[in-house]
Structure 1
Amino acid sequence: MVKKTLLGVGVLLVAGAVVFGTDMLSYAGTACSNIQEAVKSEITPEFELSRINNEIDKLMPEIRQHMAVVAEQTVDVKDLEKGIAERQAKLDTQKDAILALRSDLETDADSFTYRAVSYSRGEVKTDLSRRFDAFRTGEEALKRDRKILESQRQILDANQKKLDSMLGRKEELAVKVVQLEARLKTIQATEAVNAIEVDDTKLSHVESMISDLNHELDVRESMLETEGSVLGHIPVEESHIDVEGDVVNEIDQHFGLNPEPVVAEN
């Protein structure tokens, strides 16, 4: 099966080389690029947000691992600090004993008694020498441990800062995702509103009906007014104008007539 597959691939490569020649790789690269762009264009924002959330969740195992390292280093530092404190206390006790023996040797006594046991001056010197050698060895070891402690503190501090940075960046990413989700919901709501098509055909029809009815009522009112004039109703709405006197005067003036003055009877 594998041989057949490899053979098929080989045949395709040979055919592509024959058809496209040296441009085969260019054609293949362009085709792959077009396919990638087509796939990306089909990815929805909802899917992309889900993918981002998954990537953020994948950060947690690494963060937890780093937290475990920091926790272990914290315990190691505390244990080392405790051990150094205990050894320092022992060295302080040894120092007091060394100084006490040295003080005794400053006298001219040939023997010394400690806890009811007598020791010669030589025995005390030998014991003092052994104590001092042990003290210096312990002191050097304590210095090395202090350097180790300082180094571990620096490493712990660096790892703690790195952990804090990782946690802070993760929180920032989570906040940005929430903002993106809110922004997407706002856009979706706006798109939903804009997608609503308002059909005003019925509204226009009702408006037309109202306009037609108003016109019909106007016609009927006009008919009533016309019928009232024909039936001889007194037009009380119009003011009475007396035009007779004016017409007589105009005729007299036109024909040069001098109307005789009217004599009042006694």
Structure 2
Amino acid sequence: MKNFKSLVIFLAIGVLGTLWSCDKNGDIVLFSIENDKQLGAQVAAEIEADTSFTILSRAEYPEAYNYLQSMTDDILSSDEVSYRDEFAWEIHIIDDDVLNAFCTPGGYIYVYTGLIKYLENADDLAGVMGHEIAHADQRHSSKQLQRAYGIQILLSIALGEESSQLGQIVGQLAGTGATLAFSRSAESEADDFSVEYLADTDYACNGAASFFQKLLESGQSGGPEFLSTHPSPSTRVEDINAKADDLGCDKTQISESGFTYADFQNSLP
């Protein structure tokens, strides 16, 4: 009954135009921005409590966190980020030798050490970070979770009233269980926004393309689950570079001084 009352109130406010909207693909988003933030906080708390995730301490790895925070702040400074002042945009580094990164609704960002060490320069990681930020900022995660779980269950989880499926959602977002697969259009949109975000920074605006190019050169036909295997890496390299050409943004790699990307990699366990 409690969940039902919450749903009724939620939908009633939605009718007034404050809690639901349609995206450009016609998807109805029944979650509000505040609900995104609540769900993200619930997911972050679940990850913090889950001993299968080894999150590096900011106190023990200050240089690594400062480097990644600076990169994140540069990306979020773009005028193209819609919810840069509303979402948490809280970064966490997970010590695990896998190629993975993800961003929850509400902007809690998780990057694995395996991915950081696999990538070759700051521009590559900035491209991936831009892609993940776009998934949260364009609310792709919320839309996909809404389709997978239904609005009543998802709202209950966001409000802290129902936690039985919270672990499953964490697994899907983190790629440790059945992955939350984004649509082709959502992946392409995240790629495009990564270019737009980085166009306002000193990073090569096509940084995400370098990652897929490396996958191709290493003979891998697909990518890690967090970036999906559709469209194919070759198509995504072409599309990202085409978007950069269309914007006329700088594709020159960033020139670092002081604490470099190599230093960042070496500062990790």
Q: Which structure is higher in helix share?
A: 1
Q: TM-score, normalised by structure 1?
A: 0.16
Q: TM-score, normalised by structure 2?
A: 0.16
Larger Rg: 1
